[in-house]
Structure 1
Amino acid sequence: MPELPEVETTRRGIESSVVGRVIEKVIVREPRLRWRIPKQLPELAAGQRVVQLRRRAKYLVFDLERGSMILHLGMSGSLRVLPATTPPSMHDHVDIVMDSGQCLRFNDPRRFGSLLWTDTDPLQHKLLKSLAPEPLSDEFNGEYLARAAKGRSVAIKQLIMNGQVVVGVGNIYASEALFRAGVRPRRAAGRLKRPEFDALVKAIKDVLNDAIRAGGTTLRDYINPEGNPGYFRQKLYVYERTKDPCRVCKTPIKHFVQGQRSTYFCPQCQK
């Protein structure tokens, strides 16, 4: 599933091709995504200029002159910038055709993505208005995370993956950040000390920024807007490296299932 770095990589990759351009038309080949694409969306979007392209958590917000499109890549979705004359392939469900002669093509084999419309502030849309702070924002800091963890016995890895605490820290990046911070994933969140929260927040920001610079992490389906995989996987310290030697201390990496998700850690580097 595309996580925050993959979505941010997508945003940056398509931004120059859509912002400032006028949408000539929206072609919907398959409206039955996670939520059905609103029937009126093509008519509402056509003829409008894209004013800005934002990301909130794993949603992309296309702000037009009047209204906004809210897009989610789902589990297997991708966006490509292509010549509008390029014949569609299987699972190419939507084309947003620009006045440049290019189109933004949404491909989603599993159809768990979405494309919605709002006439009001998109950040107040029911899918976005209750989202927690962004992990790369100033609001997300050691003090905030310590407050969120106070008195809680939940494992620290599960806490930082909780979208009501912070958005966009997926399974891969949670494991990698905990390694960098030297914190074991099973530790009770409420028992960490303040310097550990500071170190963990810094590690989360560093891991996400490193992943964005590398174009994301490809495990199965994800490709960036140029059709290439993300390369952060080559820099992973623990994720999917069971029994491989730790890149720091050479101790074999361990694996266990936590909250129905695979967790990886170094028993020597993480305390």
Structure 2
Amino acid sequence: MPELPEVETTCRGIAPHIEGQIIKQVIIRQPKLRWPVPETLSQTLTGLSIQSVSRRAKYLLFSTTSGTVLLHLGMSGSLRIMSTDQTVGKHDHIDFIFNDGTILRFNDPRRFGAVLWTTEPAAEHQLLKNLGPEPLLPDFNGELLYSLSRNRTIAVKSFIMDSHIVVGVGNIYANEALFMAGIQPTRQAGKVSLARYQKLAECIRVVLQQAIQQGGTTLRDFVNEVGKPGYFQQQLKVYGRAGLPCVGCNQPLTEIRIANRSTVFCPNCQR
């Protein structure tokens, strides 16, 4: 599933191609995604200009003078910049065609993605309004994690993966950040000290920034706006390395399940 770094990579990749462009046509080949594509979307968007492309959590936001397109990549979705002579594939569900001939194509084999429209402020949309802070912005820090974790008995890994606490810390990056911070993922969230949360917040930021610089992590489906994979997988220290030597102490890494998610850690380095 594309996580925050993959979505941010997509956002940065497509923005220069479509910001300031006028939508000439929207072709909807498959409206049955996670939620139905609005029936009037093509008519609504035709003639509008894309003022900005941004990201909130794992949603891409295409802002216009009349409203905002909310797009989610789902489990296997991708957005690619195409030319008019490129063949339409089986899972190419939506094309945004611009006046200069640029095509932004939404491909989603599993159809868990979404393309929605709102005329209200995007921040007030029901899918966004209750989300936690962005981990790469200043309002996310260890003090926040510490204050929200008091008396919480859930595993710290589940705690930082809760989008109401902080957005975008998916399974891969939670594993990596906890390893970098030296915190065992099973530790109760309410029993982690302020100092350790301060370190964990910084590690979350570092891991996500590193992943963005590498274009995301490709495990199954993710490709960027030109169809290339991300390369952060080559830098993973624990995720996907169960049984292999820890890069810190050379002891075998352990794999368990937390909230039905694969969790890999070093019992020696993480306490």
- Worse-superposed segment, 166-175 or 80-89: 80-89
- 1:213 aligns to what? 213
The aligned residue for residue 134 of structure 1 is 134
* Residue aligning to 2:73: 73
Partner of 1:6: 6
Q: Which amino acid aligns with 1:81?
A: I
Alignment of 1:171 onto 2:178: no
Task: Name the aligned partner's letter for residue 255 of structure 1.
Answer: E
Correspondence list, 1:1-271, <5 A: 1-271=1-271
What secondary structure does 1:50 align onto? coil
Other structure's SS at 2:61 match: strand
**Does the CA-based 8 Å contact 1:84-1:97 persist in structure 2?**
no
Distance 1:137 1:13 in 2: 20
1:154-174: CA deviations, max 9, x gaps?
110010001111111000000
Q: Aligned partners of 2:77, 2:247: CA distance in 1, in Å?
A: 32
Cα drift, residue 106 of structure 1: 0.2
Alpha carbons of 1:85 and 1:46: their partners in 2 closer, same or farther (altered >3 Å)?
A: farther
Structure 1: distance between partners of 2:81 and 2:66: 23
CA deviation profile, 1:46-105 (whole Å, cap 9, x unmatched)? 111100011000000000121111100000000000113322111000000011211000
Partner deviation per Cα, 1:108-165 (whole Å, 9 max, x = no partner):
0000001011112111111111111111111110110000111111110010001111
Which one is further off, 81-90 or 198-207? 81-90
Q: Aligned letter for 1:23?
A: I
Q: CA deviation at 1:19?
A: 0.3
Instruction: Give the % identical residues.
Output: 50
The residue matched to 2:35 in structure 1 has which SS? coil
Moved more, 74-83 or 240-249: 240-249
Secondary structure in 1 aligned to 2:51?
strand
Q: 2:38 and 2:209 mapped to 1: Cα distance? A: 34
Aligned length: 271
Task: Tell me which amino acid in the other structure corresponds to 1:108.
Answer: D
Cα 1:190–1:170 change in 2 (3 A) is same
Distance 1:198 1:143 in 2: 7
Check conservation: 1:81, 1:226, Cα contact below 8 A.
yes
Which portions of structure 1, spanning 4 or more consecutive aligned residues, are displaced by more than 3 angstroms? none
Report the alpha carbon displacement of residue 220 of structure 1 after superposing the two structures with TM: 0.7
Tell me how large the CA RMSD over aligned residues is. 0.8
Contact 1:21–1:99 (Cα < 8 Å) also in 2: yes
- Distance in 2, matches of 1:60 and 1:204, equals 21
**Partner-residue secondary structure (3-state), 2:104:** strand
How far does residue 193 in structure 1 lie from its aligned partner after superposition? 1.1
How big is the shift at 1:251? Answer: 1.1
Query: How far apart, in 1, do the equivalents of 2:86 and 2:100 lie?
Result: 14
